[in-house]
């Protein structure tokens, strides 16, 4: 009786541990290791580094005089700017007269509402923007000839190529854009005068951002991902699977004991 009981206990525990180890082994083989390198089929994404060369030369994209102060951020498709009125009177920006120049090729500008690189839409209000004393405005400008319609949505081509598509020749062309220039003509009006501001930026460096993966624009949907990858155990983690198998083994052991005892007439 005792030998049978002891053998049954060892057998059930061994089976439970083996199942748990198998789950752990399968789980570990399903999780990508740190040595696994995924290469994008679209290649690398690059970022251009600009400096201001007109009306003054600065590494920082910032300009200030008695009328305005303005700071810029330039990405692959947009000129983002924040312009403050420093005068004691209202000033106006006429975006209808503004232009963006890419290597001296001029284009009218379009202003966008901008949330991030996947969420933006054209601004619907007037192209004349009034800015009161000490107030500021934020603009997100693109060349109108780079704006495309795709399936009822807006797509904006970059100022310069910024994806190499795993092509060495393409990558060399991207680095070859160092020295390229982007200009912005932005007239500022007061009650008595028009100030013709022209800002020019030059590419001084190119940096690799990382692998490029295209994403569809639109609202972001939060997705909850499982914290563990489990192959067996009906969705249980390895620790939970081991506990469950141990409990099941315990109840099987108790049932077997009572059945054996009843057959021997002890119950």
pLDDT band at 34 (very low <50, low <70, confident <90, very high): very low
Please check whether residues 115 and 20 belong to one and the same domain.
Answer: no
Please check whether residues 102 and 177 belong to one and the same domain.
Answer: yes
Please check whether residues 147 and 196 belong to one and the same domain.
Answer: yes
Determine the average pLDDT of the residues in 223-233: 32
**The total number of structural domains that make up the chain:** 2
DSSP string of 34-67, one letter each residue: TT-----TT-EEEEEEEEEEESS-BSSSEEE-SS
**Does residue 175 surpass a pLDDT of 80?**
yes
Residue 223 placed within a domain: no
Please check whether residues 79 and 131 belong to one and the same domain.
Answer: yes
Please check whether residues 63 and 119 belong to one and the same domain.
Answer: yes
Please check whether residues 82 and 125 belong to one and the same domain.
Answer: yes
Determine the average pLDDT of the residues in 257-261: 59
Q: Which domain holds residue 238?
A: 2-31+229-263
pTM of the full structure:
0.67
pLDDT band at 120 (very low <50, low <70, confident <90, very high): confident
Q: What is the CATH number of the domain that holds 165?
A: 2.60.40
Residue 174 placed within a domain: yes
Please check whether residues 27 and 134 belong to one and the same domain.
Answer: no
Residue 49 placed within a domain: yes
CB 190 within 8 A of CB 87: yes
* CA dist 161 → 27, 83, 156, 266 (Å): 42, 28, 12, 86
Please check whether residues 21 and 143 belong to one and the same domain.
Answer: no
Residue 10 placed within a domain: yes
pLDDT band at 102 (very low <50, low <70, confident <90, very high): very high
Please check whether residues 133 and 253 belong to one and the same domain.
Answer: no
Please check whether residues 53 and 142 belong to one and the same domain.
Answer: yes
3 state DSSP class of 159: coil
């Amino acid at each position: 009786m005792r030998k049978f009981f002891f053998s049954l206990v060892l057998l059930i525990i061994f089976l439970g541990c083996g199942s748990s180890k198998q789950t752990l082994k399968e789980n570990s083989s399903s999780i990508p290791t740190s040595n696994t390198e995924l290469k994008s089929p679209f290649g690398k994404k690059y970022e251009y580094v600009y400096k201001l060369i007109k009306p003054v030369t600065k590494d920082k994209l910032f300009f200030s005089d008695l009328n305005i102060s303005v700071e810029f951020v330039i990405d692959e498709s947009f000129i983002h700017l924040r312009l403050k009125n420093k005068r004691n009177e209202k000033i106006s920006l006429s975006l209808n007269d503004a232009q963006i120049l890419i290597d001296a090729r001029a284009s009218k500008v379009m202003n966008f509402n901008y949330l991030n690189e996947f969420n933006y839409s054209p601004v619907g209000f007037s192209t004349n923007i009034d800015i009161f004393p000490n107030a500021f405005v934020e603009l997100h400008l693109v060349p109108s000839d780079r704006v495309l319609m795709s399936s009822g949505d807006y797509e904006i081509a970059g100022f310069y190529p910024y994806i190499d598509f795993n092509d060495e020749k393409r990558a060399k062309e991207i680095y070859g854009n160092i020295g390229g220039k982007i200009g912005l003509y932005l007239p500022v009006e007061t009650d008595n005068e028009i100030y013709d501001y022209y800002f020019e930026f030059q590419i001084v460096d190119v940096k690799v951002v990382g692998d490029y993966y295209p994403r569809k624009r639109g609202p972001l949907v939060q997705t909850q991902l499982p914290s563990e990858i489990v192959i067996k155990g009906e969705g249980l983690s390895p620790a939970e699977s081991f506990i469950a198998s141990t409990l099941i083994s315990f109840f099987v052991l108790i049932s077997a004991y009572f059945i054996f005892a009843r057959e021997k007439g002890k119950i």
